[in-house]
Amino acid sequence: VLEQQKREAEQRRLTLERQMLLERQKELELERRLELEDVLETSQRRHKSGGRRPQLIMGPNGRIYKLHMDEREEEEEEEENLDLFGGNHQIPFGAAKHKQSGLN
C-alpha cells in the first residue's frame, strides 16, 4: 500500500510538473507573439509616417515574414498612384526654373 501511494504521489508530481511546463510554454509563446506584433506595428507605423515601406507582415500562423518588392512591382505601384491622381502633378524641373525667372 505504501509503495502504491509513493507511485501515485510521483504521478501527481509529474502531472503538476508537466502542467507547469505547458503553462510556461504558453506564456513564452504569448510573449514572443506580442514582441513580434510590436515589431510589426513599429514597421507599419514607420511606413505610414513617410518612412520606408513596411518590411514585415504577420502571416495567418502568427509568424512574421519579410516583404520583398521587386523594382517592377514598385514601378507598377507608382503608375497606379499616378493614375489615381490623373497624371504626374509635379512640375518638371526645367519648367519650375522658367516660371521663377519669368521667362515662361
pLDDT in the model for residue 81: 52
pLDDT tens, the chain, 104 aa long = 899 999 999 999 999 999 999 999 999 999 988 888 887 777 767 656 555 555 666 677 767 666 655 444 555 555 555 555 555 555 445 544 444 444 44
Question: What nine digits make up the cell of 99?
Answer: 516660371
Q: What is the pLDDT of residue 72?
A: 45
Secondary structure of 19-78 in the HEC alphabet? HHHHHHHHHHHHHHHHHHHHHHHHHHHHHHCCCCCCCEEECCCCCEEECCCCHHHHHHHH
Give the model's pLDDT for residue 67.
Answer: 65
pLDDT of residue 33: 86
Q: What is residue 86's predicted lDDT score, i.e. its pLDDT?
A: 52
State how far the alpha carbon of 75 is from the alpha carbons of 69, 72, 78, 91, in Å: 10, 5, 5, 20
- What does pTM read for this prediction? 0.41
pLDDT of residue 48: 62
Cell match 501527481: residue?
12
